[in-house]
């Protein structure tokens, strides 16, 4: 094996270990954060018994879940029953591999290490485990694999609640997957490439995509909530209706895996939102963050962390504020509103970009983005104020005065 | 799609036809797909379920997620209160009423005392009336707060639950200061009250009345114009006025359907006619209107409480109990020093207060509807028959009608909007 290859593999393994550890520890702390945020919103204190300010609560929960008894429902399909949590967990973990967590770093490594021998790495290293050229397409593809875990969990549990939860989940994920993919095509038009590196580069040249592609952001945000099964889209779990939905029959660590998968998905969607629409690791108004130094990597990593953290908080904020949709309203929102909106928006952006580039001939990405931003302001006004917001979620029922009122 | 009605016996699982316990097979018989047919699914909601508000059991026949049939099963909390009442003196029945509608125990106590006083023809003092009004309205607020919180949870909004329970806790503290108990209040006695309010208590209630509407306003901001909330509740579980009357509904359920019937206004008791308050009435009879009606009722209860507190201040020092010590216990220090008082004390404890032969029914506006107590007396100190008109039970009867054709999620919302409490249903 050549020293270059060894160097590449060594760094890849290092990145993998670091990202996996950070995500797992992050997920554990997120469970604590969720409880603290909810407590804050509900005039409570939240967990504060284990460790300082409850910081060891996730560790206590972890220990509890590991030593708890594993129960299996009678007549469950035990192979699929055990496989399902893993199927939900693995894609959630894979996703964090492609997110660029910081600016690329210049690395020159040339030394002899014990056991490994001579390793060498020269050049710019992306701060993602795998900087795939297919970028967010990989995320879309793998995130939809998670539904297998949930659907199989619901089916193999041999419980009606679980089955309904699993069915709801598969229908929901498939529906919102379409809207999610469709909302990203305008991005593809502007960037011309699906890799995360290029997406961030395009935002540094022009504006953060939240401005020129505002409606894409909203569609992606809503679809992201639905993809992670968080309230107001937590119908697969729907505590008050289906007990706990697809994981009703799960206990101990198998339940924990679903839990970790949900939070890991939240991290991924938050990081995606930050990367695709808020400039990723970009620190606005500066260019020194691209010079490849370690300092730049640390600073951009912090910027990325802050943006992701904001969206994680946003997820929790929404969860503890809104009620839950009904199943048919969820489908109506997805199919009757989000998908047509994303389609129309896609066509408008495509035509606008064609006019700007081919007919008018504007080359400067900043001016292009500003013009698109103006268009988006108008479209947002139309969508959010002229299309009545009440009609967006109204389901199959219509409110009408009963004939004999007052009689 | 064929629609057929499934014929099956919905007996309690685990009992064979002759009523002996039987072991159910773990899997359906070989050969049959499933004993309920392939198109329909039978789902048991309850008796242990997060959203059935106690031990209600709903057997739902689902087609997809659409409810074809809904059968409520009650009786898991049966305690035989009415029968127990036949072996108790009238004053001894009061602790039983705490445990029927356990979300508004003080209002039940008041109703029982009023019914017994009607049977015996006892007049109560003005201060006692004001105190009982305060007890009723405090109960209405805590009962509606529980309803508000749990309905929020049933629809997926958890946060308002804790806000409303925080306010409920404040009333419970006041209740505890007054009666010594948070739930088993046993507040009233025939002819008076268990005790007058302690010193400084009015200031606490006044502070509650001043600050409590803030929470209602917050919940109002969260829900009333929230488009998900409106989508979940508007047009769901609607009931016309005629249907509501035919189902014998009462309370907020009836008023949401547009019938302005409130016992406090139509058959006033405790001097309610002299208080200034409005009765909110709905228009569509759906869950949303029930929510609006109950929310407004809390504001109105607050108004009544403030007026009652003013009267209480005016009546400071006035006697709470009726002066006739043949029906109400004399003060302890007199029973220990005065012969006549001691005899009254002894007779009441050992024999109870005898009611004249006859019967009496009295209904009051409880948080959940018209609560009525009916007594039949043969002239002894114990009723021959004690019957409760439980508003929850009668309101629950319309559940199958409301649920048919709705979705599974709607069943939870409708069930929450009926506002049942199983202690009262099963009695």
- Residue of chain A with shortest Cα separation from B412: A241
Q: Give the gap in angstroms from C-alpha B400 to the nearest C-alpha of chain A.
A: 17
The pLDDT, as a whole number, for residue B302 is: 92
| Separation CA A130–CA A12 (nearest Å) | 8
Cβ pair A327:B27 closer than 8 A: no
* Chain B interface disruption, residue of A42, A231, A240, A406, most B CBs within 10 A: A240
Q: Give the gap in angstroms from C-alpha B115 to the nearest C-alpha of chain A.
A: 32
Question: Taking a contact as any Cβ pair under 8 Å apart, which residues of chain B between 94 and 153 contact chain A?
Answer: 152-153
Q: Which two tokens stand for residue A27?
A: 């997920």
Nearest to B241 among A74, A398, A405 (CB): A405
ipTM: 0.82
Farthest CA pair distance, chain A: 93
- Residue of chain B with shortest Cα separation from A403: B240
Nearest to A336 by CA among A395, A399, A398, A400: A395
The pLDDT, as a whole number, for residue B147 is: 92
Q: Is B260 on the interface with A (CB under 8 A)?
A: no
| Separation CA B410–CA B155 (nearest Å) | 9
Contacts of A389 in chain B (CB under 8 A): 227
B72, pLDDT greater than 50: yes
Q: Is B238 on the interface with A (CB under 8 A)?
A: yes
Question: Taking a contact as any Cβ pair under 8 Å apart, which residues of chain B between 371 and 390 contact chain A?
Answer: none
Contacts of A44 in chain B (CB under 8 A): 162
B1, pLDDT greater than 60: no
- Give me chain A's average pLDDT, please: 82
The 3-class SS string of A339-407 reads: HHHHHHHHHHHHHHHHHHHHHHCCCCHHHHHHHHHHHHHHHHHHHHHHCCHHHHHCCCCCCCCCCCCCC
Span A164-169, average pLDDT = 84
Residue B376, helix vs strand vs coil: strand
Contacts of A38 in chain B (CB under 8 A): 158-159
B27, pLDDT greater than 50: no
Cβ pair B410:A326 closer than 8 A: yes
Domain membership of residue A338 as a residue range = 73-109+126-393
* Chain A interface disruption, residue of B41, B158, B258, most A CBs within 10 A: B158
Cβ pair A161:B410 closer than 8 A: no
Residue A266, in any domain of the structure: yes
More confident residue, B64 or B168: B168
Tokens 């049933």 — which residue? B154
Cβ pair A234:B156 closer than 8 A: yes
Q: Is B197 on the interface with A (CB under 8 A)?
A: no
Report which secondary-structure segment, H or E, holds A125. Answer: strand A117-125
Cβ pair B50:A399 closer than 8 A: no
Cβ pair A329:B232 closer than 8 A: yes
Percent of residues in chain A assigned helix, strand, coil, to nearest 5: 65, 5, 30
Nearest to A43 among B43, B166, B226 (CB): B166
CA dihedral B403, B405, B410, B412 (to 10 degrees): 40
- Residue of chain A with shortest Cα separation from B257: A405
Percent of residues in chain B assigned helix, strand, coil, to nearest 5: 45, 10, 40
Q: Is B409 on the interface with A (CB under 8 A)?
A: yes
Nearest to A320 among B159, B236, B242 (CB): B159
Q: Give the gap in angstroms from C-alpha B111 to the nearest C-alpha of chain A.
A: 30
Could you report the per-residue pLDDT of A84-117, keeping only the tens digit for each? 888 888 888 888 888 888 888 887 777 887 777 7
More confident residue, A395 or B54: B54
The pLDDT, as a whole number, for residue B132 is: 92
The pLDDT, as a whole number, for residue A396 is: 37
Span B347-374, average pLDDT = 89
- Do residues B191 and B122 touch, judged by C-beta distance below 8 A? yes
Query: Residue B28's pLDDT band (boundaries 50, 70, 90)?
Result: very low
The angle that helices B287-314 and B408-418 make with each other, rounded to 10 degrees, is: 20
Q: Is B165 on the interface with A (CB under 8 A)?
A: no
Span A321-340, average pLDDT = 84
Count of Cβ atoms closer than 10 Å to residue A140 Cβ: 17
The pLDDT, as a whole number, for residue A246 is: 81
What would you report as the CA-atom Rg of chain B, rounded to the nearest whole angstrom?
24
Tokens 């109400």 — which residue? B328
A9, pLDDT greater than 80: yes
The pLDDT, as a whole number, for residue A121 is: 77
DSSP classification of residue B73? E
Residue A48, in any domain of the structure: no
Contacts of B229 in chain A (CB under 8 A): 323
The pLDDT, as a whole number, for residue A405 is: 40
Assigned fold of B89-426: Cytochrome-c3 Hydrogenase; chain B (1.10.645)
Q: Give the gap in angstroms from C-alpha A27 to the nearest C-alpha of chain B.
A: 22
The pLDDT, as a whole number, for residue A388 is: 57
| Separation CA B173–CA B175 (nearest Å) | 5
What whole-number percentage of chain B has pLDDT above 90?
Answer: 23
| Separation CA B111–CA B125 (nearest Å) | 16
The pLDDT, as a whole number, for residue B18 is: 61
Q: Which two tokens stand for residue B106?
A: 């003080």
A403, pLDDT greater than 50: no
- Give me chain B's average pLDDT, please: 85
Nearest to B241 among A74, A390, A407 (CB): A407
Cβ pair A399:B235 closer than 8 A: yes
Residue A58's contacts (CB-CB under 8 Å, 6 or more residues apart) are A28, A29, A31, A32
Query: Residue B203's pLDDT band (boundaries 50, 70, 90)?
Result: very high
Nearest to A232 among B228, B242, B409 (CB): B228
- Residue of chain B with shortest Cα separation from A38: B159
Contacts of B409 in chain A (CB under 8 A): 235, 238, 241, 324, 326-327
Lowest mean pLDDT among B22-31, B58-67, B84-93, B250-259: B22-31
Q: Is B228 on the interface with A (CB under 8 A)?
A: yes
Lowest mean pLDDT among A19-23, A195-199, A285-289, B103-107: A285-289
DSSP classification of residue B21? B
Q: Give the gap in angstroms from C-alpha B44 to the nearest C-alpha of chain A.
A: 9
Q: Which two tokens stand for residue A103?
A: 């600016």
- Do residues B368 and B356 touch, judged by C-beta distance below 8 A? no
| Beta strands across the sheet bearing B41-45 | B41-45, B57-63, B66-73
Question: What region does B380 belong to: left with phi over 0, alpha with psi -120 to 50, or beta?
Answer: beta
Could you report the per-residue pLDDT of B120-149, keeping only the tens digit for each? 888 899 999 999 999 999 999 999 999 999
The pLDDT, as a whole number, for residue B55 is: 85
Nearest to A404 among B50, B240, B412 (CB): B240
Query: Residue A395's pLDDT band (boundaries 50, 70, 90)?
Result: very low
Nearest to A243 among B49, B154, B230 (CB): B49
Into how many domains does chain A fold? 1
A404, pLDDT greater than 50: no
More confident residue, A245 or A347: A347
Contacts of A72 in chain B (CB under 8 A): none
Cβ pair A326:B232 closer than 8 A: yes
Count of Cβ atoms closer than 10 Å to residue A74 Cβ: 7
Span A257-271, average pLDDT = 88
Nearest to A265 by CA among A135, A150, A129: A150
Q: Give the gap in angstroms from C-alpha B158 to the nearest C-alpha of chain A.
A: 6
- Do residues B419 and B395 touch, judged by C-beta distance below 8 A? yes
The angle that helices B408-418 and B126-154 make with each other, rounded to 10 degrees, is: 170
* Chain B interface disruption, residue of A41, A326, A333, most B CBs within 10 A: A326
Count of Cβ atoms closer than 10 Å to residue A152 Cβ: 22
Q: Is B12 on the interface with A (CB under 8 A)?
A: no
Burial B55-88 (b: 16+ CB within 10 A, else e): bbbbbbbbeebebbbbebebeebeeebbeebeeb
The pLDDT, as a whole number, for residue B294 is: 92
Cβ pair B50:A38 closer than 8 A: no
The pLDDT, as a whole number, for residue A337 is: 82
| Separation CA B75–CA B12 (nearest Å) | 11
Nearest to B71 by CA among B155, B25, B9, B4: B9
Say what the pTM is: 0.85
The pLDDT, as a whole number, for residue B26 is: 43
B36, pLDDT greater than 70: no
Contacts of B258 in chain A (CB under 8 A): 402, 405-406
- Residue of chain A with shortest Cα separation from B157: A323
Q: What is the residue-wise DSSP string for A26-69?
A: HHHHHHHHHHHHHHHHTT-----SSSGGGTTHHHHHHHHHHHSP
Domains of chain B by residue range: 89-426
Could you report the per-residue pLDDT of B407-427, keeping only the tens digit for each? 888 888 898 888 888 888 888
Residue A26, in any domain of the structure: no
Inter-chain CB pairs, A–B, below 8 Å: 130
More confident residue, B223 or A402: B223
Contacts of A405 in chain B (CB under 8 A): 240-241, 257-258, 283-285
The pLDDT, as a whole number, for residue B22 is: 55
Residue A288, in any domain of the structure: yes
Could you report the per-residue pLDDT of B306-327, keeping only the tens digit for each? 999 999 988 888 888 888 888 8
- Residue of chain A with shortest Cα separation from B260: A406
Q: Is B35 on the interface with A (CB under 8 A)?
A: no
The pLDDT, as a whole number, for residue B30 is: 52
Q: Give the gap in angstroms from C-alpha B71 to the nearest C-alpha of chain A.
A: 17
The pLDDT, as a whole number, for residue B25 is: 46
A406, pLDDT greater than 50: no
């Amino acid at each position: 094996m050549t020293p270059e290859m060894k160097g590449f593999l060594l760094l890849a393994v290092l990145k993998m270990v670091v990202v996996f550890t950070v995500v797992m520890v992050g997920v554990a702390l997120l469970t604590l954060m969720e409880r603290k945020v909810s407590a804050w919103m509900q005039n409570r204190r939240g967990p504060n018994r284990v460790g300082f300010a409850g910081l060891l609560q996730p560790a206590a929960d972890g220990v509890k879940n590991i030593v708890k008894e594993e129960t299996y429902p009678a007549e469950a399909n035990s192979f699929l029953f055990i496989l399902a949590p893993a199927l939900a967990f693995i894609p959630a973990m894979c996703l964090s591999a492609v997110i660029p967590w910081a600016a690329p770093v210049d690395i020159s490594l040339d030394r002899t290490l014990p056991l490994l021998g001579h390793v060498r790495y020269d050049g710019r290293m992306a701060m993602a485990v795998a900087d795939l050229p297919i970028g967010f397409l990989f995320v879309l593809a793998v995130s939809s694999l998670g539904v297998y875990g949930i659907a199989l969990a619901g089916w193999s549990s041999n419980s009606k609640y679980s089955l309904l939860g699993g069915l709801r989940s598969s229908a929901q994920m498939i529906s919102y997957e379409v809207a999610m993919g469709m909302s990203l095509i305008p991005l593809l038009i502007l960037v011309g490439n699906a890799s995360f590196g290029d997406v961030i580069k395009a935002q540094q040249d022009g504006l953060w995509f939240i401005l020129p592609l505002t409606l894409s952001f909203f569609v992606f945000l809503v679809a992201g909530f639905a993809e992670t099964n968080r309230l107001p889209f937590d119908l697969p779990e729907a505590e008050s209706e289906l007990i706990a939905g697809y994981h009703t029959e799960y206990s101990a660590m198998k339940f924990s895996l679903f839990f970790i998968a949900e939070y890991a998905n939240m991290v991924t969607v938050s990081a995606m939102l930050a990367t695709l629409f808020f400039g990723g690791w970009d620190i606005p108004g500066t260019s020194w963050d691209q010079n490849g130094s370690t300092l730049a990597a640390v600073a951009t990593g912090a910027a990325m962390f802050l943006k992701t953290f904001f969206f994680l908080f946003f997820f929790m904020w929404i969860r503890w504020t809104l009620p839950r949709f009904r199943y048919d309203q969820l489908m109506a929102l997805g199919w009757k509103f989000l998908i047509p909106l994303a389609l129309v928006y896609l066509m408008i952006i495509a035509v606008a970009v064609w006019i700007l580039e081919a007919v008018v001939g504007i080359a400067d990405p900043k001016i292009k983005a500003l013009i698109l931003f103006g268009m988006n302001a108008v479209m947002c006004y139309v969508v959010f104020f002229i299309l009545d917001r009440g009609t967006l979620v109204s389901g199959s029922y219509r409110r009408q005065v009963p004939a004999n009122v007052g009689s | 799609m064929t629609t057929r009605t499934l014929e099956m016996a919905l007996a309690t699982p685990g009992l064979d036809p002759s009523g002996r316990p039987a072991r159910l097979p773990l899997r359906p018989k070989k050969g049959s797909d499933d004993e309920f047919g392939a198109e329909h699914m039978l789902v048991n909601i309850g008796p242990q379920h997060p959203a059935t508000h106690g031990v209600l059991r709903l057997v739902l026949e689902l087609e997809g997620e659409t409810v074809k049939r809904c059968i409520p099963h009650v009786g898991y909390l049966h305690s035989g209160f009415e029968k127990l009442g036949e072996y108790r003196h009238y004053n001894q029945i009061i602790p039983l009423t705490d445990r029927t509608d356990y979300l508004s125990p003080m209002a039940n106590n008041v109703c029982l005392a009023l019914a017994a006083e009607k049977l015996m023809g006892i007049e109560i003092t003005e201060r006692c009336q004001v105190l009982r009004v305060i007890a009723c309205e405090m109960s209405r607020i805590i009962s509606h707060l529980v309803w508000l919180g749990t309905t929020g949870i049933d629809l997926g909004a958890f946060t308002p639950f804790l806000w409303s329970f925080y306010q409920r806790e404040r009333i419970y503290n006041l209740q505890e200061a007054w009666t010594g108990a948070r739930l088993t209040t046993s507040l009233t006695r025939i002819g008076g009250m268990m005790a007058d309010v302690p010193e400084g208590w009015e200031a606490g209630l006044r502070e509650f009345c001043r600050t409590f509407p803030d929470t209602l306003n917050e919940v109002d901001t969260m829900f009333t114009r929230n488009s998900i909330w409106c989508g979940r509740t508007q047009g769901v579980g609607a009931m016309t006025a005629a249907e509501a009357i035919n189902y014998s509904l009462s309370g907020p359920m009836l008023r949401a359907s547009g019938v302005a019937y409130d016992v406090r206004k139509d058959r006033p008791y405790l001097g309610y006619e002299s208080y200034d308050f409005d009765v909110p009435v709905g228009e569509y009879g759906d869950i949303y209107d029930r929510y609006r009606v109950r929310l407004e009722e809390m504001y109105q209860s607050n108004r009544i409480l403030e007026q009652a507190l003013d009267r209480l201040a005016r009546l400071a020092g006035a006697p709470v109990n009726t002066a006739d010590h043949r029906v109400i216990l004399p003060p302890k220090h007199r029973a220990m020093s005065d012969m006549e008082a001691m005899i009254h004390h002894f007779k009441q404890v050992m024999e109870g207060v005898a009611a004249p032969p006859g019967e009496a029914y009295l209904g009051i506006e409880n948080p959940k509807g018209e609560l009525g107590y009916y007594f039949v007396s043969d002239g002894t100190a114990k009723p021959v028959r004690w019957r409760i008109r439980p508003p929850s039970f009668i309101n629950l009867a319309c559940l199958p009608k409301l649920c048919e054709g709705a979705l599974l999620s709607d069943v939870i919302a409708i069930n929450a909007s009926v506002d049942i409490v199983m202690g009262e249903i099963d009695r």
